[in-house]
């Protein structure tokens, strides 16, 4: 997607970014390896990779996550990482896998990951932006806004009990 690449940063800044990404990942409950790559991604700033077991899972955070974090109108680094932790929970939770593979449903992994993300963040702003993202994804799947809002709250209430 991005032909251009980020401005170079110092080794110290690189380490600081990795440290910050790791600290947030641990706070959200992410287990596995966390890496920082100073290139622009095509995945919104971070990517979750399923490993052979939870500690072999990989979270890669990219330069655009920090760029988005610096924009007050965009997702924070916390929200981006919480969403990826959501993917990890969804991939590793048998009940959630059952929900996804069950009857035809508009509930996608992407929606579930955002709702789980909203449950693992301490920030009210990040919670709200993740729930809005889940609703926007449901609308994208063809739902009306009110239906999408209802669906996302139902999932959230359900997951609050399940997780
Ligand atoms: Zn996602």
- Enter the pTM of the model: 0.94
**Rounded distance from Cα 5 to ligand 1 centre (Å):** 22
Q: What percent of the chain lies above the pLDDT cut of 70?
A: 97
Residue 52 lies in a domain: yes
**Rounded distance from Cα 110 to ligand 1 centre (Å):** 5
Closest CA to 66 of 110, 42, 32, 36: 36
Q: Which of 118-122, 151-155, 158-162 has the lowest mean pLDDT?
A: 158-162
DSSP state of 27: H
DSSP state of 122: -
- What residues does the ion ligand 1 have nearby, CB within 5 Å? 110, 113
Residue 70 lies in a domain: yes
Kindly calculate the radius of gyration of the chain based on its CA atoms and give it in whole angstroms. Answer: 16
Residue 111 lies in a domain: yes
Domain count, the chain: 1
Domain ranges, residue 154: 11-162
Residue 140 lies in a domain: yes
Residue 95 lies in a domain: yes
Residue 79 lies in a domain: yes
Please answer whether residues 96 and 133 qualify as being in contact, where contact means their C-beta atoms are separated by less than 8 angstroms. no
pLDDT 10s digits, 7-59? 999 999 999 999 999 999 999 999 999 999 999 999 999 999 999 988 899 99
**Rounded distance from Cα 158 to ligand 1 centre (Å):** 20
Residue 3 lies in a domain: no
């Amino acid at each position: 997607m991005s032909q251009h690449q980020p401005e170079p940063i110092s080794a110290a800044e690189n380490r600081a970014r990795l440290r910050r990404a790791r600290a947030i990942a641990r706070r959200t409950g992410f287990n596995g390896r966390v890496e920082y790559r100073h290139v622009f991604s095509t995945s919104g700033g971070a990517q979750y990779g399923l490993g052979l077991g939870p500690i072999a899972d990989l979270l890669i955070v990219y330069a655009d996550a920090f760029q988005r974090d610096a924009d007050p109108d965009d997702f924070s680094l916390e929200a981006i990482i919480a969403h990826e932790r959501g993917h990890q929970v969804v991939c590793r939770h048998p009940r959630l896998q059952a929900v996804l593979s069950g009857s035809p449903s508009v509930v996608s992994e992407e929606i579930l990951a955002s709702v789980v993300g909203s449950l693992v963040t301490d920030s009210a702003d990040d919670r709200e932006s993740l729930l809005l993202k889940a609703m926007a994804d449901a609308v994208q799947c063809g739902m009306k806004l009110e239906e999408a809002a209802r669906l996302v709250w139902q999932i959230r209430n359900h997951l609050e009990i399940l997780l």
